[in-house]
Structure 1
């Protein structure tokens, strides 16, 4: 059983944690957390504990959060946030993922963050500010591996466009869940052929039209399956774009077509 703590950071009314248009950080964090939890619930042998206030009414003290996680003996602590530079609109942009800034910190934190960060960058499609270290309370006081994501700037005229789009917040939450699933080697629960989702898809008369996020996600899945291939399975230019979050729709389609055309997907187990 893998025990995962989800922390959607701050409360709805926490001072300063908002966009210049008064959009609350908790609202963004909460949606990403809900999407991450929904995705994680599709896997076997997973327990989830949310340590912030799930309705945002109170800003649960950080000590309370880490104490709950430690007493529960969690396997990982995932803290979800969104950034702000100075509370004024600007062209700054990007995603960051933090782990503890201490030589004695649990090295698994960096390994887990390494599975999370590039997936979030690719899901959001905004600039990559990299994996960083910091002495944040939830990273320092948690007894288990911990990471903290900053999923874009609320006061960025670039990032806010995607933060206002629930499809990107869903992609971000699912990227966090998928990174955890890959790291902990989680297995998806069996899906019944009678499930409503499958029935609806079979009965539909409309062709499936994937969104940009769906195309990027499929490309990420291809990259994961090719990670153990010999060097050169993917163009270095495409790989760099994937890691930097600058992949275009045409790039993604090109990667998928190339992988299928060369029979790479059929060879990768």
Structure 2
């Protein structure tokens, strides 16, 4: 049974990344960062977990996707979590919901899909938004990471519905706690499974 886990945490984009904002100019990084801070705070309660933040935690630079992935791979992270918030047209609308991505095709990434399954519904509940499901995509941070990796879109910045939740710091904190609890549940499941395998095949 694995005793120590390295968790790579990624707040998508940076404070000054063009276009990554609500129609009112609220930067995506500010939403992402609050979620990531909550994840780090919650996982800090578990001595067996070491968190590695792969973005620029000041938000002043938008660290390249290559560099983020390289940090995670060099640290031999066991899990990669990328926190994002969505946009549709960049203008206000009524689209809504939470979606989680794994590398396409999902069938070739069962560990990432399992990780997503332990986290996704918890985020939907925390945000009290529509469940848009677990999806697959050819995103760089999902394709090039050497560990189970997911990208979470915790709501739409250009949604008249979702923005009310995104402007609520407590709601974002709960999203981060939900992600952290999903990570804990995933790790517990994997450890129990490995223990059973060792029992059956000593």
What TM-score, normalized by structure 2, do the two folds share? 0.90
Alignment of 1:152-163 (within 5 A): 152-163=155-166
* Cα-to-partner distance string for 1:111-134 (whole Å, 9 max, x where unaligned): 000000000000110111110000
Q: Take 1:105 and 1:77, find their aligned partners in 2: how far apart are those partners? A: 17
Q: Take 2:23 and 2:158, find their aligned partners in 1: how far apart are those partners? A: 6
- 1:27 paired with 2:30, answer yes
| 2:192 alignment partner in structure 1 | none
Match of residue 50, structure 1, among 45, 50, 53: 53
Q: Take 1:64 and 1:141, find their aligned partners in 2: how far apart are those partners? A: 11
| 1:246 alignment partner in structure 2 | none
| 2:65 alignment partner in structure 1 | 62
Alignment of 1:98-247 (within 5 A): 98-102=101-105, 105-185=108-188
Q: Choose between structure 1 and 2: higher strand proportion.
A: 2
Higher relative contact order (CA 8 A, sep 6+): 2
Q: 1:87 to 1:2 in 2, by over 3 A?
A: same
Match of residue 83, structure 1, among 63, 80, 86: 86
Residues 106 and 144, structure 1, Cα contact 8 Å, conserved in 2: no
| 2:194 alignment partner in structure 1 | none
SS of equivalent residue, structure 1 residue 133: strand
Q: Take 2:7 and 2:182, find their aligned partners in 1: how far apart are those partners? A: 12
Runs of 4+ in 1 over 2 A off after TM superposition: 102-106
Query: Which consecutive residues of structure 1, in runs of 5 or more, have no partner in the other structure?
Result: 187-269
Measured after TM superposition, the shift of residue 107 of structure 1 is 1.2
What TM-score, normalized by structure 1, do the two folds share? 0.68
Larger radius of gyration: 1
Q: Which moved more, 1:62-71 or 1:94-103?
A: 94-103
Measured after TM superposition, the shift of residue 106 of structure 1 is 3.1
